[in-house]
Amino acid sequence: MSFIDTLPKAELHVHLEGTLEPEQMFQLAARNGVGLPWDSAEALRAEFTFTGLEHFLRLYTEGCRVLCTRQDFYDLAAAYLRRSAAEGVLRAEVFFAPQNFLDRDIPVTEQFGGVLDAIDDARADTGIDGAMLVIAQRHRTEAAALELLEAVRPFRDRILGVGLGSAERGNPPSKFARFFTAARAEGYRLTCHAGEEGPPSYIREALDVCGVERIDHGYAATQDPDLVTRLADDGVPLTMCPLSNLRLQVTSDLSTYPLADLMKAGVLVTVNSDDPPYFGGYVNDNYAALERHLGLGNAELAALARNSFAGSFGDRSAVDRGLTAVDDHEPPAEVTAGAGWR
């Protein structure tokens, strides 16, 4: 196994519905009598060439239609957690968007019951520490987001935090200022997708207007040097997703991907998979892509793994366990000798 395969890490930016593999999508469609517009899993995979975020979201929404019962949500979450544990993921903070399913009158109890049971079973079976962050979709109204907070309140003790996702352009974080204020009052940890397709100003709004603690993607920060300095000085984590950014044409070439530059500037950058089947890889594939295209060595990869725990919403003991696991990971000789940024 490679250094990346066995490197302990956390994943902080992955959409649970977006982990639906084509084969599983067809299995669940058959189970629930849902028709799909493709003849096979192979035909679906052939569609995974995207022109941008909104193009992807159309396929993502189609896939959500096959998730109907508590067992479906359990199977989805169990498959992701099982695979992630095998990739060295010790902690997974997964996004989940209930609005996709409330539209079809699937009760929150069915949705969360399946996901949370899978999290509990995976923790017992593999030791992976799973946690759920509820996503409000920004193409909807703020009133709908506030209604979502009410709908999920029975599960308050099992929800780590809330975030904002979906189509970014034309839907700035400030549109949801009251939503984030209400979520903060209820004690949720706060994160927000910003700077994927939107401008650096969306990142600033997420921080200044919405008061979030973490920025999901944050790619556009590199267009604003003052913002980069602020992110570094304030220790704001970025949950970057290299293969997603490549597939959605946020970046055209991973050899110029700004992650290394951001990290050199002192920004707490993390590596994540976003919606792995759609974008060509799970978290280890993203680490490997950076190793290959940016020339990152094992010391840099280990630093990114440390960032993943430091940037998590885990309590101090969970963060310390993760950091210790990375430190205890047996390094190759050249890392022991002190390899640095290339």
**Residue of 196, 205, 213, 300 marked active site:** 196
Asked if 19 and 275 touch (Cβ cutoff 8 Å), the reply is yes
Distant-in-sequence, close-in-space partners of 17: CB < 8 Å, separation ≥ 6: 60, 63, 64, 67, 76, 96, 97, 100
Pairing of strands 189-194, 238-240: unpaired
Pairing of strands 189-194, 214-217: parallel
CB atoms within 10 A of CB 253: 8
196 is catalytic: yes
Q: What angle do CA 294, 91, 310 make, to 5 degrees?
A: 65
- DSSP annotation of 311 reads T
Q: Cα-flanking dihedrals φ and ψ of residue 194, to 5°?
A: -160, 140
Residue type, 192: C
DSSP result, 278-338: HHT--HHHHHHHHHHHH---HHHHHHHHHHHHHTS---HHHHHHHHHHHHHS---HHHHTT
**Two tokens at 275?**
């919606």
State the catalytic residues.
Answer: 196
